[in-house]
Structure 1
């Protein structure tokens, strides 16, 4: 799908706040309200953009996470799709480099994380699983910063979150019908959850839609405290994700860029940091799964 500058402006606005009203969105991009509504619907129906609520991991009890580099006996694509079926795996890609598959796991504690890793190890076509256990998410476009200031009170709050995870732009009136409350009560509950940091509604966008279709993963071995180096690396605009970790490296991250040259330049800037001892990188060749609303839903 070809996007013009107005489409791109709409996408960027929805990345900041997926529930912007059509009126506000129209004012920001210089369209009429009906025209803004039509363009948003077209973007969603094309599959280029999906607007959804991302619930804070703490609310779902997702306190442990890891990045797995996986090699296979034979073709990797069927294995990647088998891993993508796991609810603990929000992110799965086919990659270049030493390993054929990279996946992220998010689980309710380290015991579940260990079970998920062992499940993947036991898949018949899996040859090697090399995990990096995350200790702190330094930069993450889909992770809310800070802890929630309010709690999920009851099953009605959960139903609201579940509906918004499927469609983050549901109008309050329709959301009210689905959860069985008045429109006013639904609006009050929803705003409480969003303003309190329980969830954030964002536009999930394929990087190529924004002209940033080159994704490169990297891991870093560093000298000295990892946190200090992490802050320097996270300041790079093209570094879209970064986590400190335990395992073969101290940092793992992603470069999202507009060209191979931009990827190369960003990696060179990272290599130039005095505390960086070793850089390993790989290209994400196919995004098999990226969905951060698949965690457990408490009763």
Structure 2
């Protein structure tokens, strides 16, 4: 396994980059873009996935982002029980990320919930129950300006990106606070596909159909609908240690409220920024960045501080990522376990019980 881990070459990285752009691209499309045989692309991907260096998963899409609460908790732990606390929290279904950080709060825990009341229950029943937790402070995300699925390796040239562009659909739109989520129809079918695609976002349609107990054309229609309506989003993840950007840092900043939206959108386009979101509390902007070296952090911080009244008031370096979305990671960032989300937010409102297949979509439409 160690031999496979060390044998990551430029073709592997280009393949991962291509799947970041088009997570369910065919092997033929990937082979054409990378100038390799489709069978070679499939074999290389299977090796990367088997050793936990890369994987395709599924997350809730932008159309649902305003219908759930994302909480970020900074947790102070007893030193001797830090690992136990991190492992305990990482295995909980509502927890998306667990970072072991420098600073006075040793863990940063990101979790998603349907309501603020559920956040309260999580803090009281899960976070406070974790072994060795001394204290915590939590804030809610108010606006997400940029998410991790935007981040890309830079292994493809312009021509290769052009060959893949047909599979990368720009799906605009999304919900606004107070509106109902887009009607999906059968919520049970939605939940099941969400969970299967979390397990493997490239799971073949035939296997998705077999495991969900419906026909393959129906699965194709449902997956297309979920992606087209931006209810779900597929994303290719990679072990950070092989990316060339092995350092994670978290920055907290203050921004005048009237400048927050402009600053957040400006910072999101910086190539090293993976997450940029507004928070409740006096530190109203948080960024998660990936860097090539630790000494890049001061220069990046200075660049951030030149944006629209942004004042960086605290920073921490991630010593280890314990969980990244639904994967448990080892010290090298390889996926070694699976702890998926318990449930997605309700996607169907009352009166929307019709089958998702009744959408006018052709069974032949690709996902």
Q: Same fold (TM over 0.5)?
A: yes
2:298 aligned with 1:271 = no
Distance 1:201 1:6, change over 3 A: same
Shift of 1:150: 5.0
Contact 1:57 1:63 in 2 (8 A): no
Cα offset for 1:215? Answer: 0.3
Q: TM-score, length-normalised on structure 2?
A: 0.75
Match of 1:147 in 2: 174
Task: Kindly indicate whether residue 261 of structure 2 is the aligned counterpart of residue 227 of structure 1.
Answer: yes
Distance 1:244 1:69 in 2: 16
Counterpart of 1:289?
323
CA distance in 2, matches of 1:122, 1:156: 33
Q: Residue 199 in 1 paired to residue 232 in 2?
A: yes
2:57, 2:235 within 8 Å by CA — same for their partners in 1?
yes
Stretch of structure 1 that moved more, 90-99 or 53-62 = 53-62
1:261: Cα distance to partner? 2.5
CA distance in 2, matches of 1:163, 1:121: 31
1:295 Cα deviation from its structure 2 partner: 4.0
Q: Secondary structure at the match of 1:90?
A: strand
Deviation at 1:129, TM superposition (A): 0.6
Name structure 1 gaps, 5 residues minimum: none
Write out the 4+ residue segments of structure 1 that deviate beyond 6 Å after TM superposition: none
Query: How is 1:177-256 mapped onto 2 (pairs within 5 angstroms)?
Result: 177-225=210-258, 226-256=260-290
Q: Distance in 1 between matches of 2:74 and 2:87?
A: 15
8 Å contact from structure 1 (residues 150, 197) kept in 2: no
What is the aligned partner in structure 2 of residue 128 from structure 1? 135
Q: Which residue of 1 aligns with 2:363?
A: none
Residues 99 and 158 (structure 1), Cα distance of their counterparts in 2 relative to 1, 3 Å cut: closer
**Alpha carbons 1:220, 1:278 under 8 Å: kept:** yes
What's the CA shift for 1:191?
Answer: 1.5
Q: Which structure 2 residues correspond to residues 101-140 of structure 1 after superposition, within 5 A?
A: 101-119=107-125, 120-123=127-130, 125-140=132-147
CA displacement at 1:116 relative to structure 2: 1.1
SS at match of 1:3: coil
Please give the per-residue CA displacement for 1:154-179, whole angstroms capped at 9, x wherever unaligned: 13343223211211111112222222
2:100/2:319 contact within 8 Å kept = yes
CA contact 1:271–1:279 (8 Å) conserved in 2: no
Structure 2 distance, partners of 1:66, 1:296, is 16
User: d(CA) in 2 for partners of 1:274 and 1:159?
Assistant: 43
Label 1:198 to 1:224 Cα distance change in 2 as closer, same or farther (>3 A).
Answer: closer
Q: Is the 8 A contact 2:254 2:312 kept in 1?
A: yes
Corresponding position of 2:15: 10
Are 2:58 and 1:53 aligned?
A: yes
Q: Does 1:84 align with 2:90?
A: yes
Q: CA RMSD in A?
A: 2.4
1:118 Cα deviation after fit: 2.3
CA distance in 2, matches of 1:4, 1:294: 32
CA distance in 2: counterparts of 1:57 and 1:196, whole angstroms: 9
| Deviation for aligned residue 1:239 | 1.2
1:257 and 2:264 aligned: no
1:96 aligns with 2:117: no
Shift of 1:136: 0.6
How many angstroms apart in 1 are the aligned matches of 2:129 and 2:210?
A: 45
